Amino acid sequence: MDFIIMGRDVKIAPSILAADFADFGREIQAVEEQGADWIHVDVMDGHFVPNLTFGPALCKAIRPHVKTVMDVHLMISPVEPYIAAYAEAGADIITAHYEATHHPHRTVQAIRAAGCKAGIALNPSTPAESVEYLLDSVDLICVMTVNPGFGGQSFIWSQLQKIEKLKSMIGSRPIYLEIDGGVDTETAASLVEAGANVLVAGSAVFEGGSVQKPAVYGENISAIRNTFEV
């Protein structure tokens, strides 16, 4: 799947962390039918971040329901021992944290060797310059605009400068610049203006909707998109 050039210029990637855990299959189908471009899976280990969420078995279980792109964000440490398991579970993109490994370049290489697109994520305190040497090795850079670990946090506005810096550093390279944390109708336009082209949104997409009321997901996605598309 060559999703580097597919579809809209700006992707909306709902995070299933905000979906109904008892009904992931139908939730994914509903949100994709309502306009989601990717499905974002936040993997947390209770060690690197203060929360515990999904393992490879969950990713394997939902893979048949994901018709777009399964974007797996590993907020875990160590990360290297688990790359193969998430690749085998069907991830299209695997993103590891710069802070979770002593050897980010080796981690990125391992992700690509496993057959997935490779992403590197930066916590709010990690400067853009940290990943400059990785720009020819990654397919995606994820900027955390909240402290990783929980959904529903307030957006850290100082991260806009980091996004702008990364956009300049990326230049013409085919690298996605993804934002994770606090994406909603109040922040989306500023993020896109700064250079972001993948927006991870949890509660801003899923709030108020359900598999019985899927149109609400579409309305929420459209509300986000309408802030930056004329």
What is the layout of strands, in order, in the sheet containing 117-122?
11-14, 198-201, 176-180, 140-144, 117-122, 93-97, 70-75, 39-44
Angle in degrees, 0-180, between the axes of helices 24-33 and 215-225, rounded to the nearest 10: 50
- The catalytic position among 45, 139, 180, 184 is 180
Told to judge if 2 belongs to the known catalytic residues of this protein, a careful annotator would answer: no
Q: Can you list the positions of beta strands (E) in the chain?
A: 11-14, 39-44, 70-75, 93-97, 117-122, 140-144, 176-180, 198-201
d(Cα 30, Cα 218) in Å, to the nearest integer?
9
CA–CA separation, 91 vs 70, rounded Å?
A: 5
**Identity at 172, one-letter amino acid code:** S
Q: Choose, from 37, 42, 71, 184, the residue flagged as catalytic.
A: 42
How far apart are the C-alpha atoms of 164 and 141, rounded to whole Å?
A: 13
184 is catalytic: no
Contact (CB, 8 A) for 228 and 188: yes
Catalytic residues: 42, 180
